[in-house]
Amino acid sequence: MNTMELLKDKLKETGFKITPQRRAIVEILIKNTDKHLSSEEIYDLVRVDCPEIGLATVYRTMQLLDDVGVISKLNLDDGCIRYEICLDKEDSHNHHHLICKSCSKIIEVKEDLLDSIERQIQETYKFEIIDHDLKFYGLCEDCSK
Ligand SMILES: [Zn+2]
Ligand SMILES: [Zn+2]
Ligand SMILES: [Zn+2]
């Protein structure tokens, strides 16, 4: 199954109705999975095929998608919330983000890499880790040349 089908299944389970406008938004999200778009950026991209859409619809749809748990929010402390599709929230830990201080590029670290830290925390603090949100700030390869 591709991402769109998986997502549609998940949305159907939760009773989320896919209207043409919502579908256009979801398609933009799927096409730009690694871009971490803000609502405003999503709006600009959706408007190309769907000129009648309003920014309020984008905001509302993102809120709904967040409520049903198919996207995750990324806050880079730059005043805008970015989104990415995240279909298996329950059993997968969030990937990490590398944020370039110079060009603002966001790079994804697919590996968790925290197994030994997580094990140590669970043993020492008797704390069951469900997820984590880890951002590294620095310079990307291009900017550090
Ligand atoms: Zn983890
Ligand atoms: Zn950079
Ligand atoms: Zn990401």
DSSP state letter for 141: T
Residue 123: per-residue pLDDT: 97
- Nearest ligand to the CA of 121 is 1
pLDDT tops 70 at residue 5: yes
**Residue count (the chain):** 145
Q: pLDDT digits over 16-53, tens only?
A: 888 899 999 999 998 998 889 999 999 999 999 899 99
In the structure, ligand 2 is a single-atom ion and the residues with CB under 5 Å from it are 100, 102-103, 105, 140, 143
Q: Compute, in angstroms, the gap from residue 42 CA to the centroid of ligand 1.
A: 29
Residue 88: per-residue pLDDT: 67
First-to-last alpha carbon distance for the chain, in angstroms, is 41
- Paired with 107 in beta bridges are 98
- Is the overall model pTM greater than 0.85, yes or no? no
Q: pLDDT digits over 59-99, tens only?
A: 999 999 998 888 988 887 778 899 998 876 556 788 899 99
Q: Compute, in angstroms, the gap from residue 38 CA to the centroid of ligand 2.
A: 19
